[in-house]
Amino acid sequence: MKDNIMKNYGRLDITLEKGIGSKVFDTEGKEYIDFVSGIAVNCLGHSHPAILKAINEQSEKLIHISNLYWNEPQLKLAKKLVDNSDHKEAFFCNSGTEAVETALKIARKFGKNKKGKNKNEILYMENSFHGRSLGALAVTGQKKYQTPFMPLMEGVNSVKFNDIDDLKSKINGNTCGVIIEPIQGEGGIEKVDKEFLKKLRVLCNEYNALLIFDEVQCGIGRLGKLFAYESLEVIPDVICMAKGLGGGFPIGAVLTNKKASVLKKGDHGCTFGGNPLASQVSLAVLKELIDGRVIKKVKDKENYIVGKLKKLKDKYEVIKEIKGEGLLLGIKLNDKPQKLLNKTLDNGLLLVGAGKNVIRIVPPLNVKKEDIDKGLDILEKSIKVIY
């Protein structure tokens, strides 16, 4: 049966069947502590009652109607996002890639509105990750993803991450937008430099370009605030979200301020976007994260985990650095991570790599202390055997 699936993923050879909280179980009944969360998606863990309730109740009413009509869950979800941000309007889609595509189109339209100019260039950062579609790939600064699919979309240029001089030499009157991840997730948990970001905001204003934050991985509570930008003292014009937004149910979104409110009737669309079921689930997730005070406790969990990881770093030479923020953490090794990832899997802990030699720690945001302890014990046990 596995032959019937395209070969574009390097999967680990286990089949997962069910999960509860921060634990999942494979078809043989073996338990794993889940520090992957479906790649920073299951922010409330598995089988969370609020998510199950939203799916059950909404699916009995309406699942899908298209955007030819209004639906209340979509309106409520947009209001929740707007009420909790500095932004004004939301667009809904189904994934991070679609959110990024939408943001790129918003930047192009914004540029087109400035008459008499060739304002269509989008800047992106080296080592970034924004998705796999041809548009998102064009602004993903990693050759290994881009090269097999050349030629990509034109009118883009890359900037060295955190390099103000390089940014100054690339941004100009033809720039319509700049896209950046506040923490590069897939690229290896690389944090943006706050001074670089402040300067980027100033330059975007100076050259009248939209500043786009791709918060698909670092947003929705991961850094200890609902939006990543809230911990960075810089407000973007456009925010891309997905992953944690539906707690496991597929949904993506773009939030814009007044300046970036440029899409007119017919400019863009998404058949499934903002369907009642996805919207109602996302609304339940946000209520739990915000009103249920899950996000409030993220910093405490970060401190607890980082404290323990630092002790491991002192003990084992293979650990070079503890990276990241909130519950988007990374362990930089002086080795390729695959050996350790295989060993932790054997021992009952799910982890995923990032960049060349980083292991990501992205547990559910409501992960319990006992599961943190159990997971980190398995990690240490695995390091001990190999190194």
Chain positions 181 to 200 lying near ligand PLP, rule: CB under 6 A, are 181, 185-186
| Listed ranges 94-102, 191-199, 275-283, 304-312: which one lies at the site for ligand PLP (CB under 6 A) | 94-102
Rule CB under 6 A: choose which of 101, 214, 237, 288 binds ligand PLP.
214
CA distance 377 to 248: 27
Rule CB under 6 A: choose which of 97, 257, 344, 366 binds ligand PLP.
97
Rounded to the nearest 10°, the torsion over CA 38, 44, 45, 49 is -130
CB of 239 to ligand PLP, least distance (A): 12
CB within 8 A of 14, min separation 6: which ones?
Answer: 26, 30, 345
Rule CB under 6 A: choose which of 46, 80, 130, 222 binds ligand PLP.
130
Nearer to ligand PLP, 9 or 69 (CB): 9
96 scored as a contact of ligand PLP (CB under 6 A): yes
Chain positions 289 to 348 lying near ligand PLP, rule: CB under 6 A, are none
37 scored as a contact of ligand PLP (CB under 6 A): no
Binding mask 229-268 for ligand PLP (x = CB under 6 A): -------------xx-------------------------
3-state SS, residue 110? helix
| Listed ranges 50-58, 180-188, 317-325, 343-351: which one lies at the site for ligand PLP (CB under 6 A) | 180-188
CB within 8 A of 111, min separation 6: which ones?
Answer: 117, 119, 120, 121, 174, 176, 177
129 scored as a contact of ligand PLP (CB under 6 A): yes
Q: Which two tokens stand for residue 367?
A: 């992960």
Q: Which residue do the tokens 């500095």 mark?
A: 86
Query: Angle CA(322)–CA(328)–CA(329) in degrees, nearest 5?
Result: 15
Cis peptide before 250 (omega within 30 of 0): no
How many residues sit close enough to ligand PLP to count as binding (CB under 6 A)? 15
CB of 228 to ligand PLP, least distance (A): 10
Nearer to ligand PLP, 214 or 237 (CB): 214
3-state SS, residue 157? strand
Nearest to 49 by CA among 373, 366, 370: 366
CB of 96 to ligand PLP, least distance (A): 2
Query: Angle CA(226)–CA(227)–CA(230) in degrees, nearest 5?
Result: 105
Binding site residues, ligand PLP, CB under 6 A: 95-97, 100, 129-131, 181, 185-186, 214, 216-217, 242-243
